[in-house]
Structure 1
Amino acid sequence: MGIVMPLRAAALLGAVMGMRRCGYPWPLRRSAVEELHTRYLPEDADPGAGDDALTRELESLAEAWEWLTAPRARMPRLFLTADTVTGMDPEPPRGYTDQVPDAEFQMLLGCSSREEALHIARTQLADGALRQAESAYRRVRRLRGRARRDERRAGFAPQRERLQDRARQRARTLGPEAPETLAAREELAALLWEHRRESAVPEYRAVWQGRLRTLGPDHPDTLAARQSLALTLRALARPEEAGAEIGEVLRDRRRVQGADHPDTLKAWELACRVDEDLMRRGARDRGTGPGTMPDREPDRLPDLESGLLSLVVASCRVLGPDHPDTLARRWDLGRMPRWRGAEAESAFELAPVVETAERVLGAGHRQVRRYHREWTAGLRDVAARHPEHRAAVADLVQALVRRLDGALGEDHPHTLAMRTELLRALRWDPARQEAGLTGAMESHRRALEAADPPGVTPDAGPEAAPDTDEAETMVRRLEAYRAAASETVRALTEAGRLPGREPGDQERLDLLFVAAWTLSDMGIHDEAVLGLRAIVRGYLLRHGERDPDTWRVWQALVVTLVRAGGRENLEGAAAELGDLVSAQTRALGADHSETLRVRSRMAATWASLGLLEEAEAEYREVLAALRRVAGPEAQETLDVEQHLAEVIGFIEEEAEREETQP
């Protein structure tokens, strides 16, 4: 009779083995093992229901550790200290070195320290588990960021207390409305803006009202405090209140400082942004959007356009047309025609703003990249709705790609994204799209090679200091790898000629497979399936259904659909396997080992979908064929026998449940 392991001891052992599979180094933290072991306890384990035949009583934690640390023949033995769990004798069986499922991995990773997460990241990266490596590196970065945030928060409280004490002390000695007291409260409001924005509102309001009484309504400091109050209210999504405040500020600044003063222009810009917030709120309340004027406040758009135009003219006169503030205002003005359905007018008006922003701020500037994304999305709408502008749209995007090639490089992620936009813009011109696709391929290949993360040898143990720079570098590199793969799939699937029989198509199919399989490894299943379906079509057209390479990419598609999970994807995998089995049967015969292996996988997919009778019938046919071809003692025959037994067991359990139901 075998040894029966107590429930809590089994759960502790499961946690230990799971942590080792995840990549935790020896020794394990005892506290982490004890925290995780509750996830491995059976749901029916209840220490208060020992009389129930289906329930076994839970032993105490001390008893479980005592059981696991006692020597027993053919049983794992752990070595325990006050803080750690060390060694396992014998080592876990080979099956425990397989890659841990992602859900369990995330659960186990969630209990890791920064040092442990770094070791896990290196281990998973060395094993080629890119998604799990990225998750672990992100945890390293997140834990470091949390530590810094805790440090900032720990510093915020005493800093706030210091500023509050200073303001109270000055109020006692100098008076509550003395300039020094109000300056201290303004400094406190600025601190609260960073950490407790809602709390900044009463402070800014008190500063403004105090200066209003002591300095008068026209003093620049009074106006600045009220403008800060309006800015805070807008940031808190309270545009009606913000509009009331900034309207008065703008009127007073124009009267006191003049219409062309830089501070007046800042207040004017804030007033326009608040007006746009109110217009957007009206559109959102009515369920409308750009291109449809909201009935609520119908005069707001013409007034907003007129105000922005005047602001841009003044900004060009005062600051110059190339000043970053002027460019931001020109951008806001250029977006307005889209609200009345004039997409083409808006897109073409924004073109010189984009080029000037690239020259002034640089093509890699965050604001410029945002301009690029919004602008090309608008150009895409223009090309789709206005055929007469398609050639002009393609020329604009092509010129943008040439500028980015020179400024950022051909393999920069932002350049690749704009290359994809170019292929979308050229879809109406197949000849130019073909040339654009040929030019893009080498850039995508170089980007994938440059971003491909190297394997890392895991460190010797948790005593190694966590390298936050390594975590930051690897997260960025994995992000670049995923972005390059994603853009490659988008770009190559945009080509209307893929798949095809042209000489260059095989090279494109190979590059697309590398990118799609990379996305599959990184857990981006939807895009991976999109690319792999295109590859399967290409191979079927180019090589036919009898080619082994066609079967290889077909099975890669099936694996990705299974990884994606969900009934729809599993049904898609079963359909693809059915087509693959038919093709291999015609090419190899029904009893060929490759055909039988795919049929076994199809039966497993049916079982996952709950089609147990279909799975049983398929397993029986495969088993009979394997006994004839490979012999009853072959490993593949024994594996299918085991799978068949499991399916039969599920069917019997289901029948028993149906019989016991009233």
Structure 2
Amino acid sequence: MVLAFVAAGALGGVAPVLMNIWLPAAVASIAGAVLAAIGGVIAARSSAALDRRTAEVRAVTAHAWVDNGGRFPLVRDVTDPVHIGVHPAASAAGAAGSAPAVPTGNSVPPFVPRDAMRTLCESLEQGGFVLVLGESTAGKSRLAFEAMRSTLPDHTLVVPTSREALQHVVSPVLEAKRCVVWLDDLERYLGPTGLTSQMVTRLIGQGNRQVVLLATMRTQEHAKHSARSQEFAGELEREFARVGRDTIRMARPILLERRWSATELQRARNYTDDSRIADALLHADRFGVAEYIAAGPQLLMDWRDAWSPGAHPRGAAIVAAAVDVRRAGLHRPISADLLFELHTPYLEARGGSVLRPESLEEALRWATQALHATSSLLIPAGGNRYIAFDYLADALQRDVDADPVPEHVWRAVVREATPPEAYDVGIAALQQGNRDYTRASLQSALDPSGAYSAEALAYSLGESGQPTQVKQLFAELVNGRERMYGKSHPYTLAARHSYAYWVGAAGDPKSAADLFRALARDREQLGGRDDPAVLATRHSLAYWVGEAGDPSTAARMFEEVVAERRRVLGPDDPGTLAARHSLAYWVGEAGDEHEAVRQLRAVVADQTRVLGAEHPHTMSSRHDLARRIGQAGDPRTALAEIEHVYAIRLRLHGPDHVYTLAALHSKARWTGEAGDPKTAVALFRQVVDGRRRLQGDDHPDTLYASYRLGMWVGKAGDPEEAVRILQDVAERQSRSLALTHLDIVRSRLELARYGAATGRADDAVRQLEELVESIDPAATGSPEMAEVKRLLERLR
């Protein structure tokens, strides 16, 4: 929401302002300095101190909402909730469904107490960090405002203007005896340079002070930080969620439903003298009362209807651009000039001049016109800047058929974002699968310690296929966090976990297992054996033990992990089910494919029951089930199973998504194994093309798909083409991966096999001998290397 910030006044007249401003004791002495200056007796040194302290005042008042006198107000003095972020509503004479009316000053209707009011007031009396959660226009900000006025009227109100502004208001808050820090739309304050768990602890510290952090947050934003929603997200998404979750979990959450309860509706009937409430009650079967009063549904309908020829198509295009700017992670008002620049492709895509678009001036006037004196599609923020109504952005986020944010908007947002904003843009790009803009944004993101943006960038590089660089970055992060937080801090341990993972991903699974073994020991000493972090570490340890060449031990370790997770978290916990999947995987890798199939069928059944048939966990287990069925000797059943998975992933994610391409890869393989190598080749070409578009030519996933393509081209009867493809794959792999990587072993093996088939036996022998000489001793016992040695003996 856009806050109606009031200028602090002309600081040129600093003396009268500072005599009345509420500021910390360290700054309050400015008043004496000012009086001395007026008296003409201040010395040069005192004058410098005055300048410095005046600068402090300017910094504070420039980054927080203050009254016309340049002071932080008391809560009881703020009478209009719209000033601090509450959605405006229709004037009483112009409620929704009636003729528009001239605003009469009553920008919000009478407050109807919500069921959560008592709980919220009790929570505010306790002090600390309180978070009101709900959908857009559920009434979160109004409830928080009324509870604050009822419970804490004599507290000073501090409203930071932005994430970066938090740093400037810390001192006033620490000096205050009674203070409320208002954080409407909490997501705007999280992340680099913003609110962290350490800052929360500092602000609400013990003593004789009573400080309340009162925040609101839309449930759509809160869900991005959920541990459960991140189970199968990429490493970066999980780290982003953890950073925010560490802060959010310090709050006492209070959920406010968008739809009103029967008790609340009955209560609202006592306020039907206000026509806005009366009209909203008529529509309460479809909408929340606060939602209807804020005109959210009507504005959404108006935006969609505006595309019609001769209506307001240019205005609709400008709104679409503003909404997508928010979807791309930039949540501040932007200039009209930028909106004008961005709107043209939207208009052209709908028909351009055929729509008979209105002028720019008329379009902007329509988009900013308040509906019945309530909210507008675009909310003016002063200085010819505008921001899209958050209700619209949330509506598109819920719409599975919504178009992705277009390229020209990403380019503009990356260009416009400040370094701190670039972090949000990078995360938004990552969550929407746009890796190029993820890297472009995160590389320009800054924060005081370098921790958040550097970690995010590291994960981004890892997902783009550069594990060696990521390993080095995380080594540096571990050292930095040990210096900053100490060796036992959760942030340091989390960095060690990530470092261990990327050591393994960079080609050294044995060292990764050793690192996880030490981490599990350290975490167990701190949190005990039942700590979920310990269970997660032991899960990773078992995985890398298997990857290091000991699948039987990995399977035994996963049996223990499953038993512990069942005992601590329960049999239906997603983590327990995921551990069962891993157990089945390593049972199969240890050679018992039929037992792996049996276990995976049971896991899929339980995940379908607990999580749903199309949950990412369930889909992942079904994908692995198809592979195990095929490897157990039944490729036709495997093909039928993976075709089902592929159809669902194609519908849910589209063709250019890593999940969809992985399923298509498996479909291609089992098509070939089921006896149709030519169709397998055609499908593998689709996979390679998709990987190149999504991840680039040299990404490990692209190279692996290309290796499989070369292999099936050979099986389909064209060994010369197979050699050409596999030679290119081998050259690319040697530039991007360590020579010990099994992907290189596989591709060199197939290259030698088809090289020999085309009369190049001497070249094949030379290549295999070089491979044997260069391979890490730890990898010599792999099945792939055993096959290399058998082929080498046969060719010699």
Do both proteins adopt the same fold according to a TM-score greater than 0.5, normalized to the shorter chain? no
Larger Rg belongs to: 1
TM-score of the aligned structures, taking structure 2 as reference length: 0.27
TM score, norm. by length of structure 1: 0.31
Higher helix share: 1
